[in-house]
Chains A and B, each alone.
Chain A
Amino acid sequence: MEVTVKEWYVKEGDKVSQFDSICEVQSDKASVTITSRYDGVIRKLYYDVEDTALVGSPLVDIETDRGQEGSPEEDVVETPAVSHQHTHQEMKAQKAQATPAVRRLAMENNIKLSEVVGTGKDGRILKEDILNFLAKQTGAILPYEGEQQVVQPAVRRTTDTTFKPDKAPAASYPVAAGSRPVFTGKDRTEPLKGIQKAMVKTMTAALKIPPFGYCDEVDVTQLVSLQKELKVLAQSRGVRLSYMPFFIKAASLGLFHFPILNASIDEGCQSITYKASHNIGLAMDTPQGLVVPNVKRVQTLSIFDIAVELNRLQSLGASGQLGTADLTGGTFTLSNIGTIGGTYANPVILPPEVVIGALGKIQVLPRFNTQGDIIQAHVLSVSWSADHRIIDGATMCRFSNLWRSYLENPASMALDLK
């Protein structure tokens, strides 16, 4: 009877314990996991992946303390060997006793129960035993955490400054998304590959651009109440409306007056190309890394249209399905760091563009009105970075002022909407 070796879990030189999985073989639509009968070191694998093995012939050599012992291939498929009685009994004696909750704690921390000394009844492993084991490994006393709060990665929320001023911001500390970190105490080196390599290249190219920064504050009190109203209307049309569509449209209106901010400079710095289309990108943090999907031809879109596009890009981004068409062709970028936190930033210009704007969080702050009274204002901080080779401070400042005026007085956008 023949089987095909499909996968090895060990290689020559590996240490194995009794009952560790050694390999996976396939026979006749059945997948069989073959486990080790001994504690020892793997000395020889008799087959490669995809080789055909005969049942009964040697599979692997394991060197135990008692000396070299050939391990005949475990029974496969139809013929349960009598010797299994023996191994079965051994298993009962050796299987670590622990409640499911303790097993889960061990699993989460990648701990083998067989390595933990149980101090409970009959050698049962208790929660304290796992914690002690961990403490010994890391040299620290670990507080026992309850249910791990998993923070959703910022993919969905990057484009939405839904900071609600009436909610007192809790003193929440950032929790890294994902599972509990495993402490190994060892350095780890990996080569950069794929997307990381591409990112390095992009950022190295970005460094060639001499940037200058310009920051400002925008009073978005009126925008906040407008968005609140329009949100309901958009909802009735099945679309989520955040602040981003307003920021994007205002930027596009500004670009009509300052087209040099929607341009690109060639490699030799010999010519500038003024791009006709305002393809405004949104920096998004996804599992693949930083990607910048963009909304095409914003100059032809209404705020509602922009919201629809954003919804589409956000759901694609969340499910990791953004395509090249959406990720390329951007001419101007906005990065909404405010959803994660922060006010001012030093964003890096993404070539071949020449400007990038980072939007901080909207904070409720005291400000003076024209009568000199203190009022509550919703304040957004913005940080622009621009390519100083072709853009000067005055241009950036004027563009920012125009953009700001549209947002501080949203009704003025209606005058210039195309």
Chain B
Amino acid sequence: MITRTVRHMCLGTRSHNRWLQLRFHSTSPAIFEDVGKAGFIIKSSSTNVFENLALEDWIHDNVDLQKRSILYLWRNSSAVVIGRHQNPWQECNLRLMRQMGMPLARRRSGGGTVFHDLGNINMTFFTSKKKYDRHRNLSVVTSALKNLRPGLDVQSTERFDILLNGQYKISGTAAKLGRTSAYHHCTLLCSADRSVLSPVLKSSFQGIKSNATPSVPSPVKNLFDEDPTLDSETIMTALACQYNREFGFDSPVHEVDPGDEDCWPGIQKMAEELRTWEWVYGRTPKFSVCTDFHVHVGSSNAKVTFNLDIKHGIIENCSMDMPTEWLPKNVSDEFSSFLKGCKYCPNEMAALVAAFLRATHLGTESSSRMYCLCENVIANM
């Protein structure tokens, strides 16, 4: 069905697919089509986190995994990836990420927040639900590493982490189960930039009350720190070999382009969906923000208490408390009512504040106070 059509799509329409055909002459370009093969290894040529995540979804939705299993190797340029049911405001420093131009992605599997960069390898093990076995998959990783460097102390734990020297986490796991198939993916820290990893994974927001899945922070280390001769390419090759050995496959590593719409029809739309604000932020489980801040304007200062209820990333309820002589109550009440229905997003807020300040006649003093108050509110987004 779908696999037959993948071959039809891949052949001939684009020149680089022909090249693919020539390069892997011994195997069919429609990599999943080859009837004799039960296992396939693919490696992404893209470092775009949204494209790579979209390919994971595409395979999960479209490929028949009852009779074949797939190992998918991928790396992303710097990004933070949160789990399906997590709260990004709680998990990472969004402000710092915005300044650095670092994207935030939400994956479809559960689990905690991770930092990705080119020094981190991601691997996804696709199987049927019957063959879903995370411990076995992790043994592929630990065996591959031990074959490369016999002295290396790497072990998987009951919680599906992999520890180096018994204390440093070098790999975390998450999984997604559908009706008939499943995937288990995990990270592997080879040479990630730890000077970026730490600050970016520290939340900068106060007063958040949420039931979202929290991340469990652990001390981490790169394999590179332990042995500088271990680089990502070497490790990925070793992983591919061990995967074949463990499951009795003999698949070469096929390089694939997750942006190729002909090969994976519908994938651009999937990647687009993963980029939308509605998915990344709007999928956050209900949470509330209770905070107070001191606002200084000229010689006056006031303590403002702020309460927000946020659902689907949109402010549902908002109340503000401040001394009435500092700002007229009708102004702060009107502002609160304007916040309702607004996305909990600094850019929307900035546009809203600008429009509100335009339309509300305030004296110079009140204007500055209002402006200052808004800046504080936005800083917490």
Interface set of A (CB-CB < 8 Å, partner B):
6-7, 19, 24, 26, 29-33, 35, 49-50, 76-78, 80, 84, 87-88, 91, 95, 97, 99-101, 103-104, 107-108, 191-195, 197-199, 201-202, 204-205, 266-267, 286, 288-289, 291-292, 320-324, 326-328, 350-352
Instruction: Digitize B126-145: 1 where CB-to-A-CB distance is under 8 Å, 0 elsewhere.
Output: 00011010000000000000
Assuming the A-B contacts A31-B108, A286-B351, A288-B348, are A324 and B371 also in contact, with contact meaning beta carbons closer than 8 angstroms in the complex?
Answer: yes
Partner of A205, one of B174, B347, B351, B358: B358
Interface centre among B83, B159, B179, B213 (most CB of A within 10 A): B179
**Minimum Cβ distance to chain A for residue B139 (Å):** 17
Give the docked Cα–Cα distance between A84 and B338 (Å).
Answer: 51
Q: Is B323 located at the chain interface by the 8 A CB criterion?
A: no
B351 touches A95 (CB 8 A): no
Partner of A197, one of B98, B111, B338, B343: B338
Q: Which residues of B contact A198 (CB under 8 A)?
A: 338, 351-352, 355-356, 359
Beyond A50-B285, A291-B354, A321-B347, list 11 extra A-B contacts (CB 8 Å).
Answer: A24-B84, A29-B159, A31-B108, A194-B314, A194-B342, A195-B348, A197-B338, A205-B359, A288-B351, A323-B350, A324-B375
Nearest 9 CB-CB pairings of A with B: A193-B341, A194-B342, A100-B265, A198-B355, A327-B354, A31-B110, A30-B175, A267-B361, A201-B359
State A350–B359 Cα separation when bound (angstroms). 9
* Known A24-B84, A26-B85, A100-B266; contact A193-B177, beta-carbon cutoff 8 A: no
Q: Which residues of chain B (126-176) have a CB below 8 Å from chain A? A: 129-130, 132, 159-160, 173-176
Set of chain B residues within 8 Å of A199, measured between Cβ atoms: 355
A103 vs B197: C-alpha distance in the bound complex, in angstroms? 40
A202 touches B346 (CB 8 A): no
Q: For the complex, what is the distance from the CA of A179 to the CA of B348, rounded to whole Å?
A: 22
Number of interface residues of B (CB under 8 A): 63
Q: Which chain B residue shows the least CB distance to A101?
A: B265
- Distance in angstroms from A410 CB to nearest chain B CB is 32
Chain B positions 340 through 374: 1 when the CB is less than 8 Å from some CB of chain A, otherwise 0:
11110011101111111111110000000001001
Indicate if the CB atoms of B175 and A195 lie closer than 8 Å: no
Q: Are B347 and A322 in contact (CB under 8 A)?
A: yes
Give the tally of cross-chain contacts (CB within 8 A): 163
Q: Mark B30-68, 1 if CB is under 8 A from A, else 0.
A: 000000000000000000000000000000000000100
* B residues less than 8 Å from A31 (CB atoms): 83-85, 108-111, 174-177
Determine if B301 is an interface residue (Cβ-Cβ < 8 Å): no
Query: Does B269 belong to the interface (CB within 8 Å)?
Result: yes
- Say yes or no for B178: interface residue by CB 8 A criterion: yes
CB distance from A397 to the nearest CB of B (A): 27
Cβ-defined contact, A26 with B350, below 8 A: no
Q: Can you identify 19 A-B contacts, CB atoms within 8 angstroms?
A: A24-B84, A29-B112, A29-B159, A29-B160, A30-B175, A30-B184, A31-B84, A31-B174, A80-B132, A193-B342, A198-B338, A198-B359, A202-B358, A286-B351, A291-B351, A324-B371, A327-B350, A328-B354, A352-B358
Residue of A101, A192, A193, A326 with most chain B CB atoms under a 10 A cut-off: A193
Q: Is the CB of A327 within 8 A of B265?
A: no
Q: Please determine whether A324 and B353 come into contact, CB atoms closer than 8 angstroms.
A: yes
Q: Is B100 located at the chain interface by the 8 A CB criterion?
A: no
Residue in A76, A99, A193, A195 with the greatest tally of chain B CB atoms within 10 Å: A195
**B 84-143 contacts with A by CB, 8 A:** 84-85, 98, 108-112, 129-130, 132
Task: Give the nearest-CB partner of B349 in chain A.
Answer: A324
B378: CB under 8 A from chain A? yes
A6 partner, pick from B84, B179, B342, B374, beta carbons under 8 A: B84
CB distance from B267 to the nearest CB of A (A): 10
Separation of A108 and B265 alpha carbons in the complex (Å): 12
